[in-house]
């Protein structure tokens, strides 16, 4: 029997706090396909999107050296989205375009072209599947479905607008943005 139960409780509490001070995501290694496209990738932050209490997806932001959130479109990065439910690719594309238009005006012809490109790039997804967008600064974006290359969209303006959905200060999900940026924005 311990003569000093408070000391042991305090010690256990301090050990728990020390373990909790290192975020769980800090130890997550990038997937092999991500390393191939984004050498030196490190996880900056992650979050979850819920809609009316239902989990839609978990998202992670992977960055390389020199990433600066205010100039995100100038740095190689990857956004990895793991879906919690089945969604048609067409709906994912439509929602993405609506979010892009909410952040900045897009001429209708350009919006139609971007929507068509996203509809080709985004397959229907099931729970547990991942779509990953890899920003190639000044060039465009590469999309992976799980581990496989799905599409390359060679359009720097599209790439910037697409990643702004989550990384722009004008995002519709500011708490998610802060979580992705490791609360450093």
Could you read off the pLDDT of 132-173 as tens digits, one per residue? 999 999 999 999 999 899 999 999 999 999 999 999 999 999
Q: Is the pLDDT of residue 31 over 50?
A: yes
Contact present, 131 and 83 (Cβ < 8 Å): yes
Where is pLDDT greater, at 23 or 61? 61
The arithmetic mean of pLDDT across residues 28-47, rounded, is 86
Domain annotation for the chain: domains and CATH numbers: 24-180 (3.50.70.10)
**Over the stretch 54-69, which tens digit does the pLDDT of each residue have?**
999 999 999 988 899 9
Q: What residues contact residue 55 under an 8 Å CB cut-off, 6+ apart?
A: 48, 49, 84, 85
Q: What is the mean pLDDT of the chain?
A: 86
pLDDT band at 36 (very low <50, low <70, confident <90, very high): confident
Distances (CA, A) of 173 to 85, 97, 101, 177: 19, 15, 15, 6
Dist CA 168 CA 16 (whole Å): 35
């Amino acid at each position: 029997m311990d003569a000093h139960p408070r000391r042991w409780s305090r010690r256990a509490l301090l050990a728990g706090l020390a373990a909790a001070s290192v975020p769980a995501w800090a130890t997550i290694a990038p997937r092999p396909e991500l390393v191939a496209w984004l050498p030196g990738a490190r996880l900056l932050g992650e979050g979850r999107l819920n809609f009316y209490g239902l989990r839609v997806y978990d998202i992670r932001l992977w960055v390389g050296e020199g990433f600066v959130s205010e100039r995100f479109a100038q740095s190689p990065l990857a956004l990895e989205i793991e879906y919690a439910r089945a969604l048609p690719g067409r709906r994912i594309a439509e929602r993405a375009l609506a979010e892009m238009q909410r952040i900045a005006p897009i001429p209708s012809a350009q919006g139609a072209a971007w929507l068509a490109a996203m509809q080709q790039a985004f397959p229907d997804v099931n729970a547990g599947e991942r779509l990953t967008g890899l920003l190639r600064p000044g060039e465009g974006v590469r999309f992976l479905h799980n581990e496989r290359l799905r599409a390359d969209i060679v359009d720097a303006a599209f790439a910037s607008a697409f990643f702004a959905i989550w990384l722009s200060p004008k995002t519709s999900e500011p708490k998610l943005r802060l979580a992705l940026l490791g609360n450093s924005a």
